[in-house]
Structure 1
Amino acid sequence: MAVASPADRRRRPIRTLTQALSALLTAVLLAAGPATPAHAAPKPTIKQLKKELAALRKQSDKLITEYYNGRIAHQKAEKAERAAKEKLAAAQEIYARESVELRRIAIAQYTNGGPQSAATMLSGAGDPSALMGNLALSNHLIDRQNARLSGFAQVRDARKQAEQEAAARAEELGTQVADLGKRKDKAEDLIRKIKDKIDKLYKAPGVRRSDGTWVPQLPGGSDNITPRMRLVKTLVKERFDVPNGIGCYRAIQDGGEHPLGRACDFMLSRGGSMPTAAEVARGNEIAAWAIKNSKRLGIMYIIYRQRIWHARTGAWRTMSDRGGTTANHYDHPHISVY
């Protein structure tokens, strides 16, 4: 039997300690069980997002209705306030004129010895019966003046009150409109975010090359457009609501993508007329959306307002004048896909 050397005896406790630690670690791992990876929250489905979007749209429509109703009420209050100011100014002008006339009569009575002298001065007659008649006339005029002044004083006070109430109402409505405007903007911002989420759940069908371009697709279906173009068309239609029509395939061979089923025009107006400012803004939004999603959806270029944006350069450049509103794409953005 071999006898362990002193060196071996010195190394043995170390090996024993190592083995003990290894065994302890193994036991701990076995007791803990296999490691379980953390589960990420499942992504919402298109159906869930669209349901949330519909609820938000309903909320936004309600807020927008309240917002515009508030604006109309605010405008009516401002109109009432202006009318009250105009009537108040007219009443004050009449009041001032009648006050001057009454003061003139009062001064005449005082400086000429009372109502009889004032009436005589007014009539120019010295006959007693005439004086009595003129006195009655003077008193009648004074009573009428007093009544008119009293009436105009009431009108003035009523208009002043109406003016104050209109101003208070206008201020109140202004606060409400501002609050509704903020809530409307918040709802529309949430709608945009949900639309962005929905967009990201879609990817262009087909094969993408390493250089960023896509393998061309053949058109199909009753609309004679490619699957890639059909997806872009559907997403734009759902997101922006194009009321004046979308034109895609056309048989005329003009060197573009329309005959190939790889282009669509999203019309902002009809009959070649210039679109309104609101529709121009809609066209800008469609173009910006197409640029933002160009890589994922296989968008090759966009033409809008006599400019072209190409995926190769990532920038807009001006195009030559083609001689018309439609030809220069002022009434529609054009989107072509690979």
Structure 2
Amino acid sequence: MPVVGPVRRTAARLAALMVVTLALGVGAVPAGAASAAPLAKAPDTDHEGGTAKLRDQLDAASKGWLDARTALARSTKRQQELATQLKTIEGELGVRDAKVGEIAVVAYRTGRFGTAAALLSSRDPENFMDRAAALGQVAANEDRAVRGLLETRDQATRTKTALDGEIVEQRKQVLVMAKRKEQAEKALEVAAAEARRAATQRSTSASAGGSGSGGTSTANAKPAPRNSDGSWPSESCSVDDPTPADGCITPRTLHALQQAKAAGFTRYVSCHRSGGSGEHPKGRACDFAAQKGGFGGDATGGDKTYGNNLAAYFIRNADRLAVLYVIWYREIWLPSSGWKSYSGAGGDPSSDHTNHVHLSVY
């Protein structure tokens, strides 16, 4: 009987421990994966690698590059429309020019007194008035022809000016794209240099990536909704996050998540994160686990192939899904630069992105 108290206390402690464990672990592992390896880090920790400054720079650079590319496409379309319009105007101008030329020839042949002679040759007042009205109509038609010619010439001039303006706009946007590309690559170079200075204590090298571009994908995603001018509408964290991470995500993030699942990438995903920096707290990013059971160690074999193919899927559909960047296996894919080494990670599978594919959308 003396052992009843300790037994009860032990049972109570075990029960309390189970409650705490369940409270912390609910939603951390998908259904059917209870026996899988536990997550390397809880989803609510900031383990995206790099620094908040680096992620902000990459975010701004990619957004700026995508905005400039949209403006360039819009300007190019406008240029094509203006070129077609100018061709039509020049054709009309040729017709009007010929018509006015004919009028000038007739006026030259009849002379200045042609109108007076036509009126004086009238035999009666009624015939005189008829001829006067007819001549007035001819004069009005000639006047309209001349004014039409002048207006068409002015329209052609305005169209040419607008066309030149679109060419200037295109050159401007190309320069913006180049600067944004340089901004992103410079940020990564600085981060890589800082990582080399700080990472002498670990053996993992950022150059050990090279996996991101090795995947294949032929699936096409349905395009996310755009504005009428081709730009991406502003979105807030306004829809429920359907992943175990809970919280909110943007409609565009939800679209990308749904499209990836429709393409067959159905393993564990975590999107919203309340803490830390980057796009997760904004609902604009998701982490797609390479392993079936969640975020484990470094992905190898079929798990690594899964990650390669998923990264390739997002890149193939980057324009349809408004992809800002993709991070996978110590590399980052930017719409402006392609695959680059992603340094500054923490040397663990989560921050090195060797156990999940990170997706950030506009």
TM range (shorter): 0.3 to 0.5
Higher helix residue share = 1
Using CA pairs below 8 Å that are at least 6 residues apart, which structure has the higher relative contact order?
Answer: 2
Task: Flag the structure with larger Rg.
Answer: 1
